[in-house]
Every structure is written in structure tokens, then in C-alpha cells.
Structure 1
């Protein structure tokens, strides 16, 4: 069994050596490391070439800067392994990650494995483990009934790393990262995979170290098309749930993401008031948003949402909510 480890690399000269060494140090040896140099302007490309000279399993590709999603998609299309693993250029695989995956897949050749990880808060020198409650294996339908909620709200479905994807499944169904967005595209990719998977396994083991610094995160920046990114993800979630509308806790989750987007937008000094008003009109006239994420017909749920907005001082969104409920 061969694993393809895909790493998008952009100006990562400070961290990429440790990331590569975490793959080279695996106890399981049948792997290839695909380093997609996304137009780096520092020494990242040279480091990738250096390691390729030492180890034939390491394959660097140098491309113009096109973004992380397109780089990952290139990795999918280039991979020759049976299974694909995604690794960020500043994160680490634990030494027995591939061996653990090999044992799991040899016993249960599933389409997707979801594992745990460790969050390393670099500035605070703190570690936090995010791990599933227990090992599990079964059909997609059973997964939706028994494991999906736990893993979704533990943030174990929101990223492509700490997982293994069967390459043939991704190729057969054209599952790719959405290149239009640079936020929420990770969870949307995972949801696409869950929707197409026949068998899924959950591994109550840490296989990945997620390095978190206090600066530079894409999740803390304002994305002008953030609303569209959230709704694109929501639509995929609806497909995963089939005919049934996802339960209210999922609607509240996505509604809170819209709240965060609006709060960020109104805090921007670079966007004039007229453009902000026009953007709010777009949000409140979006048919899917109003029909799905704003379905708060019962008084208790409406009060819950209103109290959340008041605590966040999201007055504009609160006014919009009242306008929708009066219709």
C-alpha cells in the first residue's frame, strides 16, 4: 500500500525542513512526498530540491503562485499512491502515522479515515489534543447517524489533514478543492468526500501536529466573498444530509459564520458605508440563506439567536433578522 503525502509550499523556508523530516522519519516506508512549490519567493524551492536529491521518494514541483487549493488539486492529479494525505508546510506527522493508517486500511479498506490531532499553540507553548471518542468503522449512512455530529462539533471535519482519502474515490468523482474561495474550502472538500464515500473509519489516535501561531492565519482575515464561501459549504452539507434539512444546531453554526463575516465587514475602514449596505442587501435577499439558515420559527430558537447577536453587538444583523421574521 502506497501513500501520497501532498504538501503545498509557499514561503515556508523556516518550517519546511521539519515538515519534510516528519515524513522521512515515518516508520512505514512506502510513500511519496509531493511538494508543490506555489511560487515561493524565499528559499523554499531550494530546500525542496535539496531533499529530492537525498530521497527519490520526494518529488518537488515548482509552479507560479496559484493558491493552496489549486496546489492541493495538482497534488491529487499528480499522486500515484493508493491513498492521499494532506500536510501543511508548517505542520508535522507523528512518526507512526502512516504505519497506523496501513494497519487500519489493511483490516478495513475504507474510502476515508478521520483521525485526531494535536494543536500546538506556539506562542503559548501549549498543547491540546483533539481526538475522536473511539475507533469506529461503518457505512456512510451509519456514520451520519452515529459519528458525524460528534466529529463536526469537535472540529475534526473542518480540515483535510489528519485524514486519509482513497485516491480512486477522489479521481472517480472529481472531488477537488474549490479554487474560487480561500476560506471554508477545506471543510467543503471533506463534506464532498463523505457524501461519496461508501465506507468510513474513525481512528481515536493523534497522527498530526497542527502548529498555530498568533499571526498570519487565513481564518482571521476578511474575505470579501466569505458569505458565498459559507453558503457554498452549506449547500454541500445539505447534499450530505440528503432530503432532510440539517438539524438546527448546524443552521446555527453556519448562521454564526455569517454573523462573524458581517462583524468583520463592518469593522473594515477600507470599505465605504454604501458598499456595506449593498452587501447586506445581497445577504438578506439570498434565497438559500433566508430559507435555510434563517429558519427560526419557534420562539425559543429565535430568542437564542437574538441573545447571541445582542452579546456580539451585531446590531445590523439583528435588524435584518427582525425584517426577515416579519415577512
Structure 2
């Protein structure tokens, strides 16, 4: 009997996050679209993450385990990408979840209908009851719009055509914190990327990007400079954009600390 090749490969990176990995799996399993594979790239862990991944793989032939063989999240994501059998890839790391049970089916239908290289949905943040999901209207994306929109998207809420990701060699590991931003900028430049007016993912807060947000802003400026050039007006917009974002973050943190003090 011939094995059906999965249309989408879900790649999940896990390290010392047993509970998060369990949550991710629980969001994948009930998806109404069933023709998927889940590739777990697992780093050395001390909390039972490895044992859980092995149990999941033994219970479902669609789940595969890779021992992470490099440093950094983007190196691990590239490792999973090389083993992906699907036409499309979704990077949903441990702790992150699909927003609802029909997310995968909806996104696959949309990206195929549009014959798109990339489809970006909205996202919410786990545990933040005061926050509304970050959601944009459906449209074709431009490089400028994506480059200068702080809540413009996160890789957990994106469905990529694998051949387009491979065309650019996957994630550039020279960027430690914003390589996903760099990859999307490359793909969006081809003018075949779209937004969907639907929330795709619920992301786990507190990751390295949250902890080093100012370094993320610095890397994104380097990426904009690389894509738009050093002598264009957009370079100065990027500098101003970075200053504005930092100021907003500092003001928000100040108000939070003031609120706690009161």
C-alpha cells in the first residue's frame, strides 16, 4: 500500500519544554485536516521533553523525531526543513498552538487557492486575557508594509510553500533573533504573499525574542538596510521606526511598573 505524502510538514523545536510540547501536540492532533506530519527537533533536555517526544512518535507514524545537531533556533528549524516531506511547511514551536481545530484546513485551502508562496494569519498571546488577537485585513502583501509593521506577523502564524523557502536556503543563521523576518522579506519581495483575515496561532510568551527585544529591533534594522539599500529614504524611516518602537516599549514598561507600585 502506497503511503500518502503529507501536504504540510509541521516543524516544532523543543528544549526543556515538556508541558509546552504537550500543548502543541494537543493543538495539532484534532485538526480537521489530517494529511500532515509533525517533525520534532529536540535539543538535549532534563525535564522529560525527550521522553514525551518519543512517546508521541511511537503513538503516531506521522510524528518524527530529530536530535538537534546545531546551536540556535533557526539552525534547528533548518534541520527540520531538510527532513520535511510536505509541499508546505509550518513552524509551530513547542508551547505554540493552532488557534482552532480548522486552522490548518483553512490555511491550506487559501494558500492553494491563491497559488501563494506565503500566507500570514493573525495571532494571539497565551495567558494574556487583556490582549485582543493581532489581526489584519486580507490582502496581498508588499515589502514596505511587512517591513514597517511591528505586529505584522510571527512565523508561528505563517504557512510557507516549501519550495520557496528552499529557494532562499532556509533561515539565515547569521541572524540570531530575526532570521524569520529576513526570510519573509525575501519571499514578500516576489509579490506573491498574502494575509488572511483569520487568527492562525496562539503563541507562548517569554521566549528569547521577548527577552532580547532591543536586539531584535537592531537585527530588523540591519535586515531592512540589506533589502532596501543603504542610500534610500527607507533607511531613515527604518531608523526612526526603531526609535519609535523602543520608545513605545519603554513607555509601556514604565506604566506597568507604575501601576504595580500604586
TM-score range, shorter chain: 0.7 to 0.9
Residue 85 of structure 1: how far off its partner (Å): 0.7
Residue 219 of structure 1: how far off its partner (Å): 3.0
Classify the secondary structure of the residue corresponding to 1:22: helix
Indicate whether 1:19 and 2:24 are aligned.
Answer: yes
Match of 2:242 among 250, 254, 271: 254
Indicate whether 1:99 and 2:105 are aligned.
Answer: yes
Q: Is the 8 A contact 1:115 1:131 kept in 2?
A: yes
Q: Is the 8 A contact 2:41 2:76 kept in 1?
A: yes
Partner of 2:219 in structure 1? 229
Distance 1:150 1:189 in 2: 12
1:208-243 per-residue CA deviation (whole Å, 9 max, x = no partner) reads 011225xx54432488x778734532333416xx99
Indicate whether 1:160 and 2:132 are aligned.
Answer: no
Indicate whether 1:114 and 2:120 are aligned.
Answer: yes
Distance 1:52 1:66 in 2: 23
Residue 50 of structure 1: how far off its partner (Å): 0.5
Residue 101 of structure 1: how far off its partner (Å): 1.3
How does 1:10-49 map onto structure 2 within 5 Å?
Answer: 10-49=15-54
1:178-216 per-residue CA deviation (whole Å, 9 max, x = no partner) reads 323432233122212222x35122100011011225xx5
Partner of 1:199 in structure 2? 192
Classify the secondary structure of the residue corresponding to 1:15: helix
Give the structure-2-normalised TM-score.
0.80
Match of 1:55 among 47, 56, 60: 60
Higher-RCO chain (CA-CA 8 Å, sequence separation at least 6): 2
Distance 1:161 1:131 in 2: 14
| Structure 1 pair 69–92 and aligned structure 2 pair: CA distance change class (3 A) | same
Indicate whether 1:238 and 2:241 are aligned.
Answer: no
Classify the secondary structure of the residue corresponding to 2:18: coil
| Structure 1 pair 26–219 and aligned structure 2 pair: CA distance change class (3 A) | same
Give the structure-1-normalised TM-score.
0.66
Distance 1:73 1:107 in 2: 27
Partner of 1:187 in structure 2? 181
1:91-129 per-residue CA deviation (whole Å, 9 max, x = no partner) reads 101211111012212321110111111123x2x543421
| Structure 1 pair 29–41 and aligned structure 2 pair: CA distance change class (3 A) | same
Distance 1:23 1:254 in 2: 36
What is the aligned length?
Answer: 245
Distance 2:208 2:25 in 1: 21
Q: Is the 8 A contact 1:86 1:160 kept in 2?
A: yes
Q: Is the 8 A contact 1:25 1:95 kept in 2?
A: yes
| Structure 1 pair 102–226 and aligned structure 2 pair: CA distance change class (3 A) | closer
Distance 1:6 1:129 in 2: 23
Match of 1:212 among 205, 218, 236: 205
Q: Is the 8 A contact 2:111 2:118 kept in 1?
A: no
Q: Is the 8 A contact 1:115 1:207 kept in 2?
A: yes
Classify the secondary structure of the residue corresponding to 1:89: coil
Q: Structure 2: which 5+ residue stretches go unaligned? A: 1-5, 255-262
Distance 1:74 1:39 in 2: 15
Distance 2:220 2:195 in 1: 26
| Structure 1 pair 41–182 and aligned structure 2 pair: CA distance change class (3 A) | farther
RMSD: 3.1
Q: Is the 8 A contact 1:119 1:211 kept in 2?
A: yes
Residue 130 of structure 1: how far off its partner (Å): 0.6
Residue 59 of structure 1: how far off its partner (Å): 0.7
Q: Is the 8 A contact 1:230 1:257 kept in 2?
A: no
Partner of 1:172 in structure 2? 167
Partner of 1:271 in structure 2? none
